[in-house]
Amino acid sequence: MFILDTNDEVPKPFHADLTGAPMTNCVLCNCEFEEFTDYLIEKSFRRVNSGVVHTIFEYAICLDCVPAMQGRMSKESQENITAYFESKVNIQQRFSTQFELNQFDAEKWIDHCLITNNPTDQCDEFQIYGQFKGNRMVFGAFPYAISGQVLDEMIGLLSAKSLDEMNGFKDQIISPDPTLKELFPTNRPPILI
């Protein structure tokens, strides 16, 4: 179940920090996003001592390339992640509740961790995920945020080989500010869920 946003505009938190505008291309095949292209966005944030939140990485990936990215994880690792999610959250129920409360207000869907419910403004690290069709957000399983605490639990479910493979993907990902690479958590790969 999903509903297309009535606004033809990518919500601000999903814009590229690099350009201040919506993302335009797939990180893997480099296809350009057109009016009806389906794609996902993942952005990773870290709060530093001063309280400032930095974007650690950001990328968009077209749905055609998602299987290739997921294929970097072993079948067992993928199953572990899926089972973890299914045991923690009922996505269908969450969609109904969020839509009733917040409709197309994307920021309210991503201001707390999907699993722990902790507000992201109290998380040192968190990632946001969104699905889009052209400039329109797809409200369904997405959008959501995941706290660093939960990401760590998920990493514990990946095999060493899967973790290596996912880390290999990092090099392809755009970091808005290359000096932030040192903030990139060494053991935390992008995880597309």
Between residue 104 and residue 143, which ones bind Zn ion under the rule CB under 5 A?
none
Q: How far is the CB of 20 from Zn ion (least distance, A)?
A: 23
Strands (E), the chain: 3-4, 38-47, 53-62, 125-133, 136-139, 144-147
Per-residue binder mask for Zn ion (CB under 5 A), 49-88, x = binder:
-------------x--x-----------------------
Question: Rounded to a whole number, what is the distance in angstroms from the first to the last CA of the chain?
Answer: 17
Instruction: Give 41 or 65: the residue with its C-beta nearer to Zn ion.
Output: 65
Q: How far is the CB of 43 from Zn ion (least distance, A)?
A: 17
- Residue tagged 């690792």 (tokens): 77
In this chain, which stretch among 18-26, 48-56, 74-82, 162-170 interacts with Zn ion, using CB under 5 A?
Answer: 18-26
Q: What is the CA radius of gyration of the chain?
A: 16
Q: Quick one: tokens of 24?
A: 């335009």
Contact by Cβ (8 Å): 61, 98: no
Q: How far is the CB of 6 from Zn ion (least distance, A)?
A: 27
Instruction: Give 159 or 172: the residue with its C-beta nearer to Zn ion.
Output: 172
The answer to whether 192 contacts Zn ion (rule: CB under 5 A) is: no
Q: How far is CA 49 from CA 33, 52, 175, 180, in A?
A: 37, 7, 20, 14
Look up residue 140 and give its amino acid: G
Instruction: Give 26 or 158: the residue with its C-beta nearer to Zn ion.
Output: 26
Q: How far is the CB of 161 from Zn ion (least distance, A)?
A: 24
Per-residue binder mask for Zn ion (CB under 5 A), 19-38, x = binder:
-------x-xx---------
